[in-house]
Amino acid sequence: MKIIYLMNSISKILAILSLPLLLNACGGGGGSGGSAGGGASYTVPNCTDAGNSTIRDAEYYGMSNGSNYALARICAGAAYARGATGSGINVAVIDTGIALYGSGNNYHLDFGGNNDSLPSSKIVTPTGSDNINSDNIPNDDEGHGTHVAGIIGADNDNQADSPIVTDGMHGVAYESKLYIFKAGNSDGAFPDAAIASSLSEAITAGVDIINNSYGDSAEIGVDCNSASSCETAIGSSVYTQMEAVGAADIINVWAAGNDSKDNPSLLAGAHLYDTDFQDLSIAVVAVGTDGKIASYSNKCGVVAAYCVAAPGSSIYAPWYFANGYHVAKSGTSMAAPMVSGALALVKHEFSSLTNAQVVSRLFTTALDTDEYSQSSIYGHGLINLNAATAAVGSLQTIGGSNLLDDPNASYYDLINNNFISSAAFSNALKSALNAQTMEVYDSFDRANFDVAVDGFFTSGSYTSQNTIENHMSRLEPKTTKKNKHKNLYGSFTIETDGNYIESSLFYSAGDFLALGYNQSTNSFENAIDPLSNFFNDSNFGNNYLVNPYFNTGSGQDYFMSFNNNSSFGFDTFTNANGNDLGLAFNLNPLSSSNEGMKNAGDLQIVFGANYEQNKFLNSTSTGAFATGDLSNTNFTGIKYKKNLGDDFTFVGSGFAGYTYIDKASNSYIDSSTPLLTSSFTLGLTKANFLKKDQRIGFFIDQPQRVEDGSMNLRLPTSSDRDRTVTYSNLNVDLEPDARQINFDIVFNKTITESSNLSANLTHVQNGDHSNGSKNQNFMSLFYKKTF
């Protein structure tokens, strides 16, 4: 059986009519296209293209002579915008060869750059690649092969493609490498032996995709309807190599044929009956410039499950020298290389996909609504490179496994992976993760996508709370209503805001036991408030002296203290969900008395530990960034209070701790060093400032900050065709690049029993411990009069 190329031209139509048994190349059907099928009730849908003017330039539209067709019809610009170019993908072109030689002005820049000789870095001609003349020089003496090769991979070089032709164009996968095998002669006929040898040589060359723009005039499902009958009809030499291509895991793309039949040709449809190469074979029908099935094109018919459509009419591409440079040709021969190039883009974009998955993705994402919903004509529909290079399912992280198809691998939707960092190290974390990427995977087929690592991290912030409203509220008297009760068992104080209990505090008789809700039970801290005259009735400084490791700010914190006497005691802490547990031993080596009442002491030394479930340093995380069940912090602190005469009070505190991060199974947080953190507050207040009933205070504090320590992230960064994931280590230094210091001056004046005036000036330096933060300055005045 003789095979010829399938390009639509008058000469080839005559040849077909005169040789009913002729097998032909799928590149020359009749005319530039038009409607054949697809009723009036159908409209032609369009995919959504993308890419700026640099991507969608004159060469982008050159394949369709400047019209919104060809590359634009399949939305290739969207794939280019995502970085898909076909780089590293090897495509075999079994055809009439390629134009290798030229002289004078007779050369193409489509394949060879700024020289007039091929092979080049793009064009490979393996040993024995000319199976017509039995040599190594597959020179095109007909033109069809050059045209097909240009559609697949002509250079995107933004220049005219010859000194005398200015209508530049580029191929679908313009950075792919083309392996040329000559199996068609100057008459466009493809002998069986030449096809079989070319298929065999393509396997040996290790290509990824083979384009076959040739075929026969017989019809699959009519002239053969089983693997054995199709092998007989096609010929065992070619059929055996078709099976070998499948065994070699190579994608085979076939032009469906130009005979206006209801089914593809035998070569394009034989995979319907043979599972040996079924999942790796594609039949391609052609649509005309109006987007509907071209009048010459065979339809998908019985091969609909393994068939797609692509533009095939009036496609401008290079031609061999005798007949010109860029010419318009029509046929399924032109549609097939559009699909081969599209497959190369998908394969380039997703290194984790097998070839069968690349084919499946192209099928699944094809445009299949309205006109293209007619599967008997268009199979899966018109190829859509925007959808093919985007996520089909939901994007997910993999939970530490090295194999994408591991049945025990855990996956998390992106929304279920997050890390909300403490402001103690958020600046350092943000800087370390800037411009870092990792892989995530499509739930549809585990196609790999690169995403920014910092997109999973939310930065905690101290300065975000420094708003004008919040600054003013620091001076505002507490709006809560305080109720006090006392009986034989002890005293009980409740602070409410409407029907909401904001805090409560219970002291047992003798103050041995204290219980608190959103209220510290540490006796030293509670003794400070009334002495300072600034913490008693306003919101200012409520958290300045509390233990930072016992302060989640959750709104449901619980405290309990045991005090044997004024010399030592114990504090415990938890929250409503029990995620935090803390225990501290308080030693009061110095104590003083005031008007005969025993105080907690001028000096308190604190030793303790805090345990956090699935978080550390008040930083929470989920999914692939989760931490273990029990991260712990061992800390120490010192608090000091001194009354300097009747008017001055000095207060100060400092805390430091080492945090040990517990590693969760399969977490991307792989290891860490102990994290050293610190915080401190210093304050001096004066009563009777200038006049009686005037008070002023000066405070300096540093919020909690990581002083030393790092954690190592083990992130998935690449994957291969074997579905193996490679992880890379990213060491993150958690020490910020600066130190936030807050400066406060507070003034309060009692005017009458029913009115007072307060003022607060605040300066924040290096907000969030970042030297890139602008200093913040606030000034608030508050006047209150009770009627």
Whole-angstrom distance, CA of residue 728 vs CA of residue 369: 42
pLDDT number for residue 758? 84
The 10 Å CB-count burial string (b at 16+, else e) for 355-370 is bebbbbbbbbbbbbeb
The answer on 764 and 665 residing in a single domain is yes
Both structure tokens of 496: 């409410």
pLDDT number for residue 591? 63
In this structure, is residue 273 part of a structural domain? Answer: yes
Query: If pLDDT is split at 50, 70 and 90, which confidence band does 754 have?
Result: confident
In this structure, is residue 444 part of a structural domain? Answer: no
Between these two residues, 598 and 298, which has the higher pLDDT value?
298
Whole-angstrom distance, CA of residue 569 vs CA of residue 561: 7
In this structure, is residue 32 part of a structural domain? Answer: yes
pLDDT number for residue 205? 98
Residues 304-347 have pLDDT tens digits of 999 999 999 999 998 886 445 788 999 999 999 999 999 999 99
Is pLDDT at 439 greater than 60 in this prediction?
Answer: yes
Query: Residue 620 sits in which domain range?
Result: 463-477+558-785
The answer on 716 and 591 residing in a single domain is yes
Residues 184-223 have pLDDT tens digits of 999 999 999 999 999 999 999 999 999 999 999 999 999 9
User: Considering the chain, what percentage of its residues have pLDDT values greater than 70?
Assistant: 87
Is pLDDT at 106 greater than 50 in this prediction?
Answer: no
Query: If pLDDT is split at 50, 70 and 90, which confidence band does 228 have?
Result: very high
Residue with token string 């067709």: 69
Look at 129-138, 543-552, 578-587, 702-711 and tell me which has the smallest mean pLDDT. Answer: 543-552
- Residue 222: CB atoms within 10 A of its CB come to 13
The answer on 468 and 334 residing in a single domain is no
Q: What is the mean pLDDT of the chain?
A: 87
Domain boundary among 333, 365, 388: 388
Residues 662-710 have pLDDT tens digits of 999 899 999 999 999 999 999 898 888 888 888 888 999 999 999 999 9
Q: What are phi and psi of 268, to 5 degrees?
A: -75, -15
pLDDT number for residue 117? 63
Query: If pLDDT is split at 50, 70 and 90, which confidence band does 38 have?
Result: very low
Domain boundary among 329, 364, 388: 388
Residues 608-624 have pLDDT tens digits of 999 999 999 999 999 99
In this structure, is residue 638 part of a structural domain? Answer: yes
The CATH number of the domain holding residue 614 is: 2.40.160
pLDDT number for residue 464? 84
pLDDT number for residue 207? 98
Query: If pLDDT is split at 50, 70 and 90, which confidence band does 488 have?
Result: confident
What is the DSSP code (8-state) at residue 299? Answer: P
pLDDT number for residue 592? 57
Both structure tokens of 375: 């599967």
Residue with token string 């594609």: 282
Q: Which residues contact 54 (CB under 8 A, 6 or more apart)?
A: none
The CATH number of the domain holding residue 188 is: 3.40.50.200
In this structure, is residue 38 part of a structural domain? Answer: yes
Check: CB of residue 571 under 8 Å from CB of residue 521: yes
The answer on 111 and 16 residing in a single domain is yes
Residues 394-428 have pLDDT tens digits of 999 999 899 999 999 999 999 999 999 999 999 99
The answer on 193 and 53 residing in a single domain is yes
Check: CB of residue 605 under 8 Å from CB of residue 587: yes
Look at 30-34, 244-248, 675-679 and tell me which has the smallest mean pLDDT. Answer: 30-34
Check: CB of residue 340 under 8 Å from CB of residue 253: yes
Q: What are phi and psi of 10, to 5 degrees?
A: -60, -40
In this structure, is residue 513 part of a structural domain? Answer: no
Q: What are phi and psi of 745, to 5 degrees?
A: -115, 125
Is pLDDT at 31 greater than 80 in this prediction?
Answer: no
Which candidate, 17, 722, 27, 700, places its Cα nearest to that of 319?
Answer: 27
In this structure, is residue 583 part of a structural domain? Answer: yes
The answer on 29 and 159 residing in a single domain is yes
Is pLDDT at 36 greater than 70 in this prediction?
Answer: no
Residues 108-166 have pLDDT tens digits of 667 865 544 677 788 999 999 999 999 999 999 999 999 999 999 999 887 654 444 44
Domain boundary among 365, 388, 411: 388
Residues 589-605 have pLDDT tens digits of 876 554 444 444 588 89
The answer on 373 and 263 residing in a single domain is yes
Between these two residues, 664 and 471, which has the higher pLDDT value?
664
Domain count, the chain: 2
In this structure, is residue 740 part of a structural domain? Answer: yes
Check: CB of residue 326 under 8 Å from CB of residue 318: yes
Between these two residues, 775 and 108, which has the higher pLDDT value?
775
The answer on 467 and 358 residing in a single domain is no
Q: What are phi and psi of 728, to 5 degrees?
A: -125, 150
Highest-scoring range by mean pLDDT, 93-107, 136-150, 377-391, 677-691: 377-391
Query: If pLDDT is split at 50, 70 and 90, which confidence band does 269 have?
Result: very high
The answer on 368 and 473 residing in a single domain is no
